Chain A
Amino acid sequence: MRTLTGVGSTPLSGVGAARWYRPEADLTLPDRPDPSAVDADAELARFESARDEAREAIRDARDRAAERVGEEEAAVFDAHEQFLDDPELVGDVEDAIGDGTPAGHAVNDRFAAAIERFEGLDGPMAERADDLRDVRDRLLRALLEVDSVVGLGDLPDGTVLLAERLTPSDTAELDPDAVAGIATVSGGRTAHAAIIARSLSIPAVVGVGEPLREVEDGDDLLVDGAAGRVVVDPDPEACAAAAGTEATAVTERVATADGRPVEVAANVGSEAELPAAADRGADGIGLFRTEFLFIDRDSPPSEDEQYEAVAAALSTFPDDRVVVRTLDVGGDKRVPYLDLPDETNPFLGRRGIRLSLDEHRDLFETQIRAVLRAAASGGGADSTGGEGLAVMFPLVSRVEEVEAAVAAVESVAADLDAEGVDHAIPELGAMIETPAAAFLADRLAERLDFLSVGTNDLAQYVMAADRENDGVADYHDPLHPAVLRAIDRTTSAAAGADAWVGMCGEMAGDPALTELLVGLGLDELSMSAVTVPAVKERVRAVDSAEARALAEEALACDARSEVRDLLGIDGA
C-alpha cells in the first residue's frame, strides 16, 4: 500500500484499475518494408477487420452520445461512419495496399492527404479534418493493436482514469458508471473539468503531482476524494474506510442548531443531472446552468426546447426553488455558432450578460420567453417559501445592466400578455462575480429579489488570478480576506434591501467552510449535488451566533493563512 496526496475534488471514493489517458498516444508505425515483402491479401484482410472494429466503436460511441447528450450531438458519429466507409477513401487505401504498402501506412498516407485538403478550407469544413483524424486514429489503433488508448466514453467498468490534466470536454465524455475515479497530475478543484467530474459524481483527486506518474496501467488504485488521496494497492480495510466516510442523503430541509433555516441546493449543468440532485436531498437547484442547451450543436436551441428543460427542473423539484442562470458564454466557454470574438483577455471581455444585452440579445429574449412560460408551470414569484422559478444574470458589473435585464423581462412579459400565452414573472437576481457587483450590491439588491455569489469568478476577479492557471493557484482561493470582505459586503447590502443571498461557487460545497458561510449571512448554499449531504449535516451542527463570531474573526484576518488556521484547515 502506497499513499499519494492531492486535492480532493469530488468527495467520493472509488476503487479500480489504473489507466493512463494519453490523448497523443503513440501511434507510430514501424519502418516501411520493401513492397515485395508485403503480403497484399493479408494486409487487405487486416484493413477490412480494422474497419469492422472501428465501425463497431463508432456505433457504440454514437449510441452513448445519443443517450447521454442527444441526437444532435450523436450525428457527428454518423459522419465518422461515412468517412470510414467512404468509397473513394477506402478505394485509395486498398489501391495503395495493392501496390505493396502495409495497411497501417496506407491508412496514414491516404488520410493525411484528405486531412490536408480539409485543413485548407474555411470554418465548419476544417472541423471535418478533426473527424478524419478521429477515424484515422481508430483505424490505426485497431491495426497496431494499441489498446491502451480507448475513447474516453469507451472505458471498461472499474477504470481509474489517470491523466496529466483533463479538459472539460474530455471529462464530459466520461461514463460515470464505468469510471471508478479520476486522478490527475495537475489541475485544481475549481477547474471546469473538476467541476464536471463532481457533477457526474465521479470520485476525483486532482493535483497529485509527479508521484502519480509512477503509477502504471493496471495498478489497483483507491481514489479517496474525501481525504484527497490516491492509494496504490489498497487493502480492503482502506477501501471500506474510504467508502464509509461518505455522508448519506438528508431529504428534509435543514436549519442551524438554533433554528436558522439554510437552503442547501444543487448546481446542475444538464437535465440528466436532475435525478441525482434529488436523490442526494438537494433543496432545489441554486444554479441551473443553461449552457448545455447551447453547446455541442450547430444552432441555438428553440424556445420550446428551453422551455422543456426548465419545466423539467421545476417538476423534479415541485416544492423547491429552481434558479436558472441565463446563458453564460464567453471567457473560456466557446460556442462555435455564436461567432464570439477572439480576445486577448477573454475573461475580461465579451461574456455573460454583456453578450446577452447586446450582440446576442435575440438569444437572451428567446431564453427569457422560455423561462417566463416555464414559470407559469411552477410556483412563480408570489411564493415566499423558497419555491418556484428564479432567474439570475451572470457577470453583472453595472446597475444599468440589471435595469436593462429587468426591462427586457418586462417587455417579454408584455409580449406574452399580448399573445395570450401563459407566463409568470420569476424572482430575478444577479450573480455577484465581479468586484464591481460586490461594491454595488446595495444598488443591485434594491432592484432585485436576490443575489447569488459565484465564488469561482469572484475570487478570480478580486484576486486578479486566472482560475485555470496553476501558477497563481495560491491567489485563487476564496479564503483570502479580500474575497471574504467582498462576500460580506454583498450579504450586508442584501439584508438592508430585503433580498436573499445565495452562493453557487465551489466554496459553498466545502463542509469545512459551512459555519463560516452561515456566519457571513448566506441564506442559500448551492453546490455539486454530491456534496449536499455533507453540507446539510454540517449546517445542523452550526450555532448561528458562534458562526457570526467566527465570520467576524475571519474578516479581521490579514492573510489567508490566518483564516485557514482559524478554520482548522491544513495548508495546501
Chain B
Amino acid sequence: MERTVTVVPEAGLHARPASKLVQTASRFDADVSIGRPEDGDDGLVRADSMLSVSGLNAARGESVRVVAEGAEAADALDAICDLLTSEVEGADGETGEADGEADGDETDADGGDPT
C-alpha cells in the first residue's frame, strides 16, 4: 500500500524530523520506503536508513510518496504519514502566550538556514 503526502515540518526532512522518521520506520514489522513521486519506483529509498532519508533532502511543501509492505504495513504507513504532516515534531511544547513569539522566531530561523 502507499500514500503521497506533502511535507509539513518547517525543517523538511532534516535533522530531527528525519531522525524521528527513521525511528518510526524501524519500529514496525514492515518494509517502508520513501521517495519523490516523480522519481517513480527507482527513486524509493529505505525509510529506516538515516543515510537515505537525509539524502532525499526533502523540503517543507514537497510531495513525498510512502510505500509500505508487510504485516504492519497499514500502521506503519499511518505513523509515517502522521509525522510527515504534523507541524511540530514533538519538541518541547511551547505553550499559549509564548506561541506567537516563538513562531515568528522560527520562521526567521528556518528562512536563514539554507543559505
Interface residues of A (CB under 8 A from B): 71-72, 75, 78-79, 82-83, 86-89, 114, 117-118, 121-125, 128, 298-300, 302-305, 336-339, 360, 362-363, 365-366, 369, 419, 421
Contact = CB atoms under 8 A, between A and B. Distances in A.
A299 B101 contact: no
A86 B108 contact: no
A334 B7 CA distance: 29
Given A79-B19, A125-B14, A302 B51 contact: no
A88 B15 contact: no
Contact of B115 (A72, A121, A302, A339): A339
Given A304-B94, A304-B95, A304-B98, A338 B112 contact: yes
Interface stretch (B36-44, B52-60, B63-71, B79-87): B52-60
Given A118-B54, A123-B114, A124-B113, A302 B46 contact: no
Which among A75, A114, A339, A360 has the greatest number of chain B C-beta atoms within 10 A? A339
Given A125-B57, A298-B11, 19 more contacts: A79-B50, A86-B50, A87-B46, A88-B49, A122-B57, A124-B11, A124-B114, A299-B105, A300-B106, A300-B109, A302-B102, A304-B98, A338-B109, A339-B108, A360-B108, A362-B105, A365-B101, A366-B105, A369-B101
A86 B112 contact: no
B111 interface: yes
Contacts of B54: 118, 125, 128
Contact of A88 (B18, B51, B101, B106): B51
A contact patch SS: helix
B19 A78 contact: yes
B76 interface: no
B19 A82 contact: yes
A79 B18 CA distance: 9
A337 B46 CA distance: 29
B16 interface: yes
B57 to A, nearest CB: 5
B109 to A, nearest CB: 4
Contacts of A360: 108
Contacts of B45: 88
B contact patch SS: helix
A122 to B, nearest CB: 5
A421 B96 CA distance: 13
A302 B91 CA distance: 12
A284 to B, nearest CB: 27
Interface residues of B, number: 37
A114 B51 contact: yes
Contacts of B94: 302, 304
B98 A118 contact: no
Contacts of B51: 83, 86, 88-89, 114
Nearest to A82: B50
Contacts of A363: 105, 108
B28 to A, nearest CB: 14
B19 A75 contact: yes
B92 to A, nearest CB: 8
A362 B115 contact: no
20 contacts: A72-B92, A79-B15, A79-B19, A82-B23, A86-B49, A298-B109, A299-B105, A300-B106, A302-B92, A304-B94, A337-B110, A339-B109, A339-B111, A339-B112, A362-B104, A362-B105, A363-B108, A366-B102, A366-B105, A421-B97
Which among A72, A88, A118 has the greatest number of chain B C-beta atoms within 10 A? A88
A302 B96 CA distance: 11
Given A79-B15, A87-B49, A121 B57 contact: yes
Given A78-B19, A339-B115, A363-B105, A88 B46 contact: yes
Given A87-B46, A89-B49, A124-B11, A75 B105 contact: no
A87 B109 contact: no
Given A82-B50, A88-B51, A88-B52, A336 B102 contact: no
A339 B113 contact: yes
B8 interface: no
Contacts of A86: 49-52
B77 interface: no
B25 to A, nearest CB: 10
A113 to B, nearest CB: 10
A89 B51 CA distance: 7
A114 B54 CA distance: 11
Nearest to A341: B115
B15 A124 contact: yes
A85 to B, nearest CB: 8
A293 to B, nearest CB: 12
Ranked nearest first, the 6 interchain pairs of A and B with the lowest CB-CB distance are: A339-B112, A337-B109, A82-B50, A123-B114, A300-B105, A88-B49
Contacts of B98: 302-304
B22 interface: yes
